[in-house]
């Protein structure tokens, strides 16, 4: 298990910068990230329910630590958000102990609550501030678009609206389309969506499209025609995966770097494995055993050929 309390990663610096340096943000920003005086609990009002989250005091910033000067980045982020909303509330960012990933917490005081290890994992994978800006821009979008969820609840439609809002804001900040979609293309986000199978959130492919729609609005450009799909030849197999055993879960996702190749075997009981398939390359899978799951990213589904046998095995396209 990772010990998150004894290391100061760049992600720690980023989050602590948001929490501490933003205390000096001019009041012209309509949305402010400030270090709130947080008690032992915060109360969220979602739909018709209220529930309590517990601030993670262990990952609150400590005054004696010196952080990098990212004031200009944070201020430009807030100013750009404020241009696209009439929001007049203060929003505080707070780490919590509950494994919620990231979500808004509206109530008498409005928060964006996040689970530190999950965001740290996202940053460790992407090494990109744009991934974190994208996550927070999405959550701000819920407030800016009146998705306080006091009556709507979280639904695919409003999640896509917040994704589009995030794309617009990131475009205004100067992000490329690839940078704006960094968080959504991460394995941290993709695998989380598959594992949780949360019906309130749409598939990653739809979320990527929503971010692109917002990004193109921000850049004043129209969507290009879809690129032709590469012709896949299964005469030449780049990756072969053999799955057997019991209750194993295998993910096949697009490779950004270091694609998997050759023959890979997953067996045993309750194993998890992720393989990275290069766009345009072919993959053969032999799925056998009992109660095994093969989960394939929709973006590369045409590149994967599956031969299935055994008992109660599943192939899922996500």
pLDDT of residue 162: 92
pLDDT of residue 1: 42
Q: Tokens standing for 275?
A: 């393989």
Q: What is the mean pLDDT of each run of 10 residues along the chain (318 residues)?
A: 47 55 38 56 81 82 36 56 64 85 84 86 86 87 76 76 92 90 85 64 85 91 65 85 94 83 93 89 94 90 92 90
pLDDT of residue 289: 93
pTM of the model: 0.66
């Amino acid at each position: 298990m990772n010990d998150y309390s004894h290391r100061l990663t760049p992600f720690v610096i980023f989050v602590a910068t948001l929490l501490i340096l933003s205390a000096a943000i001019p009041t012209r920003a309509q949305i402010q990230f400030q270090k709130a005086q947080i008690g032992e609990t915060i109360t969220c009002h979602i739909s018709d329910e209220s529930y309590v989250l517990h601030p993670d005091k262990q990952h609150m910033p400590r005054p004696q630590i010196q952080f990098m000067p990212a004031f200009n980045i944070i201020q430009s982020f807030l100013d750009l958000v404020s241009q696209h909303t009439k929001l007049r509330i203060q929003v505080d960012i707070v780490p919590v102990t509950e494994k919620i990933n990231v979500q808004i917490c509206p109530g008498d005081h409005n928060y964006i609550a996040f689970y530190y290890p999950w965001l740290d994992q996202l940053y460790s994978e992407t090494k990109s501030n744009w991934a974190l800006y994208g996550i927070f821009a999405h959550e701000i979008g819920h407030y800016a678009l009146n998705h306080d969820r006091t009556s709507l609840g979280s639904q695919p439609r409003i999640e896509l609206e917040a994704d589009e809002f995030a794309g617009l804001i990131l475009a205004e900040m100067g992000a490329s389309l690839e940078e704006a979609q960094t968080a959504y293309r991460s394995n941290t986000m993709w695998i989380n969506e598959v594992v949780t199978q949360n019906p309130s959130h749409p598939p990653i492919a739809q979320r990527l499209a929503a971010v692109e729609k917002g990004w193109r609005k921000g850049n004043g450009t129209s969507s290009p025609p879809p690129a032709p799909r590469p012709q896949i030849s299964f005469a030449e197999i780049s990756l072969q995966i053999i799955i057997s055993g019991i209750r194993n879960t295998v993910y096949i996702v697009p490779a950004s770097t270091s694609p998997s190749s050759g023959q890979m075997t997953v067996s045993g009981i309750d194993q998890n494995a992720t393989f990275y398939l290069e766009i345009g390359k072919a993959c053969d899978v032999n799925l056998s055993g009992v109660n095994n799951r093969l989960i394939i990213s929709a973006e590369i589904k045409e590149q994967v050929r599956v031969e299935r046998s055994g008992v109660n095995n599943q192939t899922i396209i996500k």
